[in-house]
């Protein structure tokens, strides 16, 4: 029975929907996390009677068709790249982006990755790195005898060292933008890489036209709304249950038909 196969695709779709929602909820406290949304498309249709076909020699035509849908499939699971709330941390190398842009970091294999996670630290050489040790790009080295670090909204990093009254510039943080942020590929570890769909990265200093500014001693929280996710989860569960009920009803009809044929 076609209804059983159609409802099975609905159950599979809602199972995937629940998986996406559960990942959003799991990352509720992940710095810079961007939530995903499951998007669906209907499958091919069985055309039992096509609209516009002729019904007589007088050129009368069928005004509407008889089409039977065959189910649903997942079209995409894009990320929603909206701004997350900023949380104060009072840590010198915690940096939040207010607005558009991504930090650039260099991976061990030489590729450039992009992230909204600004929880940076310094390594043994004084370079600013991620929590996994990936170097910020362009690389910035902080003097080991620095007594204070200041990061301006436009990305200028300054260090105060003993014997000098004025802080010295030690580097410039840059941000990257993409034409299609949803086209970025997720690597995990709060990292993305560019793809043909995202377009090439466009780098500039924070505060430039179209780019966000930086906020030192703050981190961007995940843009996950717990209430919305729970509501979506309940709706997905209800849709799953309704598709399961269709399968049960279809099975009962098949059993009844089989009994009548005996």
Measured CA to CA, the distance from residue 123 to residue 135 in angstroms comes to 9
The pLDDT score that the predictor gives to residue 54 is: 80
Per-residue pLDDT at 261:
66
| Predicted pLDDT at 232 | 95
How high is the pLDDT of residue 262?
66
Nearest to 139 by CA among 150, 129, 152, 124: 129
What are the Cα distances from residue 82, in Å, to 33, 35, 54, 159? 10, 9, 51, 32
CA torsion through residues 135, 137, 138, 142, sign: negative
Overall pTM surpassing 0.75 (yes/no) = yes
Per-residue pLDDT of the chain (262 residues; tens, 9 = 90+): 788 889 999 999 999 999 999 999 999 999 999 999 999 999 888 888 888 888 777 788 888 888 888 899 999 999 999 999 999 999 999 999 999 999 999 999 999 999 999 999 999 999 999 999 999 999 999 998 899 999 999 999 999 998 888 899 999 999 999 999 999 999 999 999 999 999 999 999 999 999 999 999 999 999 999 999 999 999 999 999 999 999 888 878 878 777 776 6
List the structure tokens of 144.
Answer: 């080991």
Output the CA–CA distances (angstroms, integers) from residue 147 to 57, 80, 130, in the order listed: 93, 39, 21
Cα separation, 93 vs 85, whole angstroms = 18
By the 8 A CB rule, do 51 and 62 touch? yes
Q: What angle do CA 125, 131, 132 make, to 5 degrees?
A: 85
């Amino acid at each position: 029975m076609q209804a059983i196969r159609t409802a099975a695709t609905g159950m599979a779709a809602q199972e995937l929907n629940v998986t996406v929602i559960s990942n959003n909820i799991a990352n509720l406290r992940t710095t810079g996390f961007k939530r995903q949304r499951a998007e669906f498309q209907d499958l091919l249709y069985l055309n039992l009677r096509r609209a516009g076909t002729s019904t007589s020699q007088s050129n009368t035509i069928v005004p509407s068709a008889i089409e039977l849908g065959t189910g649903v499939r997942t079209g995409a699971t894009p990320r929603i790249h909206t701004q997350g709330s900023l949380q104060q941390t009072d840590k010198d190398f915690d940096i939040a982006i207010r607005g558009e842009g991504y930090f650039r970091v260099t991976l061990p294999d030489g590729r450039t990755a992009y992230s909204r996670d600004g929880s940076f630290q310094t390594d043994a050489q004084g370079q600013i790195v991620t929590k996994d040790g990936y170097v910020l790009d362009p690389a910035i080295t902080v003097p080991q005898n620095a007594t204070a670090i200041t990061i301006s909204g436009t990305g200028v990093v300054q260090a105060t060292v003993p014997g000098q009254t004025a802080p010295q510039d030690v580097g410039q943080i840059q941000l990257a933008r993409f034409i299609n942020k949803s086209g970025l590929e997720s690597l995990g570890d709060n990292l993305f890489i560019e793809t043909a769909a995202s377009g090439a990265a466009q780098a500039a200093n924070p505060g430039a036209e179209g780019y966000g500014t930086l906020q030192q001693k703050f981190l961007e929280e995940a843009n996950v709304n717990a209430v919305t996710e729970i509501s979506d989860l309940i709706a997905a569960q209800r849709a799953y249950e309704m598709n399961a009920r269709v399968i049960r009803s279809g099975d009962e009809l098949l059993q009844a038909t089989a009994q009548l044929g005996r």
